Structures are given as C-alpha cells and as structure tokens.
Amino acid sequence: MLSIPETTISSSNGRRPIPLIGMGMAMLVEGSDKVKAAVVEAIKVGYRHFDTAALYGTEKALGEGITEALRQGLINSRAEIFVTTKLWCNSAEGHLVLPAMKQSLQNLGLDYVDLYLIHWPLKLNQEEFELPIPKECIAAINIKDVWEGMEKCQILGLTKSIGVSNFAPRKIEEILSFAKIPPAVNQVEMNPLWQQKKLNEFCKKNDILVTGYSPLGASGTKWGHDRVMECEVLQDIAKSKGKTVAQISLRWIYEQGVSFVVKSFNTERMKQNLEIFDWSLTEEELNKISQIPQRKHVYLIGSFVTEPNDVMAEIDADLSFQ
C-alpha cells in the first residue's frame, strides 16, 4: 500500500495533518453499493482522505464504506480517515448552518468530520436542488452570519476545521476581517489549464491551504472538459517520461504546494493517481506547463442558471481574478 504525503492545517486541536491527495465523491451516479465498494477499495489502495458534500448524495455511502473498512480491519479507527463535507447553498444562512452540519453527520454516521466547507459564496432559495436554477433563486450570502455558524460547528466539536470552496481573495479577506477562526482551506478548480497562481499565492500568505478539484478537467461530467487530457504540452511530457497525462497533471499540482482530490472507481487508475511521488518534473517541463494558455472553465453553478443575475456576475468577476 502506498503512503500519501501530508501537510497540516489549522484546527481546534492546533495543527492537524491532511493527506495531500483525496478521493472525490462528487456527483457519483453508480449507486450507493458501488460507492461504498469504491470507498473500501480506495482505502485498500491507500487513500485516507475522502471529499464529499451534502449536494453529492454520497455522504451515507461514504460512511458505510468507512464502517466496512473498519469491519475488515483495513483501518484500526475512524481517526485514520480524513473526511471533508460541505454546506450546500440552500443552507447558507447563519441559523441553518448547524442543522445542516448535524444532518451531514447523521448521513455519514459519524460524530465529527475533519473539515467542513462553505460550498459556494452564494445563497440558493431552493428547497431541493433543481436544474436549471431560476435566476431569482440566487441571492447574496451574508457571509458574517454564515461564518459564525461555521465557527460554532468547530467550537462544538462537530468538525475539526472549517473552510470555504470556490471563494476568491476578496471574499476571503472579508471573512478574515471578522473571523475568530480563520478558514483553513479554500477548495477551487485547479489544473494545468487553470493554474490559480494569484489565488494560491494569496492563500499561502494567509495560511490557507488550497485544495484543487477537477485536476484532470472532470472529463465526462456536465460541467467538465477534455482540455487537460487533450493538451499537447502535457501529452508530450507524458510520452517523454513514460507517464500518463493524468500523472503529469497530478504531479504538477502536487508541486504547487497544494492538496487535491481525484475521482475514479477504476482500481488501476486509483493506483496510478497515487504513483506520482518517486519522480519529479524538470525545471524545463515546469516552465512549459506554466506557459500553457489559461482558460477559465465555466463554473458549475453559473453554467446551470437560466439567466445570469447580479450575484452571479459578481462571482464570475471574482473568479476571473483568480
């Protein structure tokens, strides 16, 4: 079994370790039994960080997979697994944060999670997530009230750390201006074709770990693209090093000093995604990747809105800065 490198983030217990590679559980449609089996298989291979969200519908299956791994003796305690979940936008109000956290814990069958994130910097006035989202259902988030709710979750021990997802520097600075507990993590889309250089620099200065999602472009999803896997620069480097394009992309993101989450139910690809630590990219290769033209991907929520509104325009402008 491969050992995954770790870094540390701020938490209720001081600095706590977080594995630099996690297994993403976003929008999986294979069914709960397959999700559970994939979690067990991932633990066998070496994964110890699992990233889910209230929106994904995979919290319950993830919890069952962890329970099964314990039953099989693959891990000795729940503490060996790092679990991230997220507050969905329909609960992005101060008084709704704690109930949403408790519901996620009930779904997971856990007493606590290791990291709880605000999924997006907006409020959705929908009882249930439906597509397309009418523009009138999107509202600005009262970040001070919501963040106080997040802090309460950590103070109560329901999560060890708190953070954000899809937040630009301007919104993070707003949180930092009043936060008693600063965000430990900012999870954003990051890959060689959307490198997030300014955002990563900002977060490092403020002791916030960037976690990159869609490191391979999320090909095959409604919101993903094939540009990473089809990039000629990455293909040429992969051929010369005897690696896959995916491995080149993951090694690149690892060398940026961030963590990231990948998603595959294929056991061999699970293993390949972890086989990136006993080699490195040369300075010349890193320079070639740094010169790849950047193409901001259409963000998930915005691509599902019937028409843009002022809130989405503001978020788009923020994300463009990244």
73-127 residue pLDDT tens: 999 999 999 999 999 999 999 999 999 999 999 999 999 999 999 999 999 998 7
Mean predicted confidence (pLDDT) in 175-186 = 98
For the ranges 179-183, 220-224, 238-242, 292-296, the lowest mean pLDDT is seen at: 220-224
189 has a pLDDT exceeding 60: yes
Residues with catalytic function: 56
**Which DSSP string do the residues of 25-79 spell out, in sequence order?**
-TT--S-HHHHHHHHHHHHHHT--EEE--TTTT-HHHHHHHHHHHHHTTSSS-GG
- Which pLDDT score, from 0 to 100, does residue 299 have? 54
Cα–Cα distances in Å, from 159 out to 47, 135, 219? 20, 32, 31
Of the CA atoms within 13 Å of residue 167, those in its CB half-sphere come to 28
pLDDT at residue 265, rounded to an integer: 87
Q: Is the pLDDT of residue 58 over 60?
A: yes
Instruction: State the binding site for substrate.
Output: 119
| Predicted confidence (pLDDT) at residue 322 exceeds the cutoff of 60 | no
